Amino acid sequence: MSIVNQFNAFAADFEFCVADDKWARLKKYFLDDASYWNVDGPDPKIAGRGAILDYFRDNVASNDRRFES
């Protein structure tokens, strides 16, 4: 799978997670020891697949879910 196709698959799965809050769907895109760099956030480096998925879930809950659409 090309990198573009893989990104598109991740983006589509991310949108499903936003809709149904089942973030485990994204596990397949991250290694156990993955790092996510959140450059403008209070903690710029989030380490570990579980921590990354928790960050995505919490970020969507505290930002995106505040709006109807």
Q: pLDDT value at position 39?
A: 85
The CATH fold of domain 3-66: Nuclear Transport Factor 2; Chain: A, (3.10.450)
Taking every pair of Cα atoms in the chain, the longest distance, rounded to a whole number of angstroms, is 35
Task: Determine the pLDDT at residue 64.
Answer: 63
pLDDT at 23: 97
The residue extents of the domains of the chain are: 3-66
Rounded to 5°, angle at Cα 7 from 61 and 14: 20
Tens of pLDDT, residue by residue over 20-68, are: 999 999 999 999 999 999 888 777 899 999 999 999 999 888 876 667 7
Please tell me the pTM assigned to this model. 0.83
How many residues would you count in the chain?
Answer: 69
pLDDT of residue 4 exceeding 70, the answer is yes
